Amino acid sequence: MIFVMERFALKNEIEEVSERLKSLGFQVHLSQGVQRTIIGAIGEGIHENMDSFLVLPGVEKIVPIVQPFKLASREFKSESTVIDVNGSIIGDGSLQIIAGPCAVESREKYLEIASTVKDCGATMLRGGAFKPRTSPYSFQGLEQLGLEILAEARALTGLPVVTEIMDPRLIDTVAEYVDVLQVGARNMQNFFLLRELGRINKPIILKRGPSATIEEWIMAAEYIISSGNSQVILCERGIRSFEKYTRNTLDLSAVPLIKQLTHLPIIVDPSHGTGQWKLVEPMSLAAIGAGCDGLMIEVHQNPREALSDGPQSLTPENFAGLVTKVQQIQGILRHTQNED
């Protein structure tokens, strides 16, 4: 349940409610806006005599949270969460374009493509240092060397860097080199990993599992938030279905649903969502129309020679064309919103 405090409630009034809730066995989470504070009481504490809180100074009302996810819900926080990734803002109505190859293959190649995608209009870089692959014989990434190359690319371009985290034991090491840690689809319900990511002060991109419902996906985000890290960015990357013409089925209905159900920002990965480079551009434009906060696009100098996910990677030329169309769509949407 949530305790809505009066506008400009005093600090000691908020502390009194929080301490009383803790004494009843609840975990207490604060959502502090400019004018109003909301106190979330989470857990299996004693629920008797909750109405007695209404007589406490500063308490306006008590509202039960009906969703199984508490801290991620719009009920807990009505304002959209805005995340600042070293100057790249996600969730404020602008659009971030995260681009780069699936994997960091070599220093020379990665620094080249990092500079190229920046020149084309990318606002953040992506690249896998540790690669989870279906086959144990496939390229698994450059690991530590890959992290060092990512950090070098950030210094070269000035763009924030995103990479995947798979092992809880490597969280501190990976966080030392990159700006955003990504939880891949295979690890969406690796609850131990999610809890450990809750203890760091870094934004987390949480990809939707291939067979996960929207509720299961949000509940995975809840693990991170409830463990102390509210900087969660959801990523729709396609779900498994009976369709064989695409790698996955990109569920764009998830974008407005996430906006309605939660306060978290959401980005879309049309590369994994379709598995075909020719479908990346149209699905990117559709995702923007659906209201996403960003795109994650795979780009490679020569997709035919890519060590992973070549068929879904754009060439720099195709990526530049996509960015131009994205900017045009954004301009139209902004103009329409201003007229409204």
The pTM assigned to this predicted structure is 0.92
Asked if residue 129 lies in contact with residue 148, where contact means CB atoms within 8 angstroms, the answer is no
Write the single-letter amino acid at 245. Y
What local confidence, expressed as pLDDT, does residue 191 receive? 97
Q: 84 pairs with which residues across the strands? A: 89
Helix, strand, coil in percent for the chain, rounding step 5: 40, 20, 40
What local confidence, expressed as pLDDT, does residue 340 receive? 60
Count CB atoms within 10 A of the CB of residue 17.
Answer: 21
Which whole number is the average pLDDT over 74-83?
A: 93
Q: What whole-number distance in Å separates Cα of residue 39 and Cα of residue 2?
A: 6
Give me 241's structure tokens: 């279905």
Name the least confident of 36-50, 119-133, 136-150: 36-50
Average model confidence (pLDDT) for the chain? Answer: 94
pLDDT, one tens digit per residue, over 51-68 is: 889 999 999 999 888 889
Asked if residue 146 lies in contact with residue 128, where contact means CB atoms within 8 angstroms, the answer is yes
Q: What whole-number distance in Å separates Cα of residue 132 and Cα of residue 152?
A: 23
What local confidence, expressed as pLDDT, does residue 300 receive? 98
The more confident residue out of 132 and 199 is 199
The domains found in the chain, sorted by start residue, are: 2-63 (3.30.70.1140), 83-339 (3.20.20.70)
Residue 33 has pLDDT above 90, yes or no: no
